[in-house]
Amino acid sequence: MSRLTIDQMLENARERLHRVYVYDVAAALERGAILVDIRPAAQRVREGSLPGALVIERNVLEWRLDPTSSARLSLAVDHDVEWIIFCSEGYTSSLAAAALQELGLHRASDVIGGYQALKSAGLLTVGVGVPHFAREVDSLASL
């Protein structure tokens, strides 16, 4: 078995992805993509949240998004869902999106530069108007 460095593994992962620039996230969401924050809770507390993003920590990502998994989310309807993953800076998210593609989620990708790039670009509200976010807000309002 050959060994890879983490840099080689990351390069291999990114070769398979159609990575999303921060200024293209809004258009992706408009066409139905789902933005997923995989940062750990402590990192989200420290850095801030992204309203409208679905929070799924990295350690359970594949189980929640694989449409054949008994632990899937209701949004994981089939292998054609466009999942856009982000982490803090866009490294872990590339590896995560590549893992999703290995499960057959062929439209999985990630945000170049991650949360930090979205924050620097002033785009932390990019996900506020997405349909699944509106449904969540409505369901919380009815409690």
Residue 111: DSSP 8-state: B
* Residues 26 and 118: beta-carbon distance below 8 Å: no
Looking up residue 65, the CATH number of its domain turns out to be 3.40.250.10
Radius of gyration, CA atoms only, the chain: 15
Is residue 14 included in any domain, yes or no? Answer: yes
Which pLDDT value is given to residue 138? Answer: 56
Longest CA–CA span in the chain (Å) reads: 55
* Residues 48 and 124: beta-carbon distance below 8 Å: yes
Is residue 58 included in any domain, yes or no? Answer: yes
CA distance 63 to 128: 25
Q: What is the pLDDT along the chain (143 residues), one digit of tens a residue?
A: 789 999 999 999 999 999 999 999 999 999 999 999 999 999 999 999 999 899 999 999 999 999 999 999 989 999 999 999 999 999 999 999 999 999 999 999 999 999 999 999 999 999 887 776 655 555 555 54
Which pLDDT value is given to residue 91? Answer: 98
Is residue 81 included in any domain, yes or no? Answer: yes
Q: Could you write out the DSSP letters of every residue in 18-64?
A: --B-GGGHHHHHHTT-EEEE---HHHHHHH---TTPEE--GGGHHHH
In the sheet that 109-110 helps form, which strands lie side by side, from edge to edge? 54-55, 34-37, 83-86, 109-110
Is residue 1 included in any domain, yes or no? Answer: no
Containing domain of residue 101, as a range?
6-141
Which pLDDT value is given to residue 134? Answer: 59
Domains identified in the chain, total number = 1
CA distance 90 to 25: 14
Which pLDDT value is given to residue 143? Answer: 46
Which pLDDT value is given to residue 130? Answer: 78
Is residue 22 included in any domain, yes or no? Answer: yes
Is residue 59 included in any domain, yes or no? Answer: yes
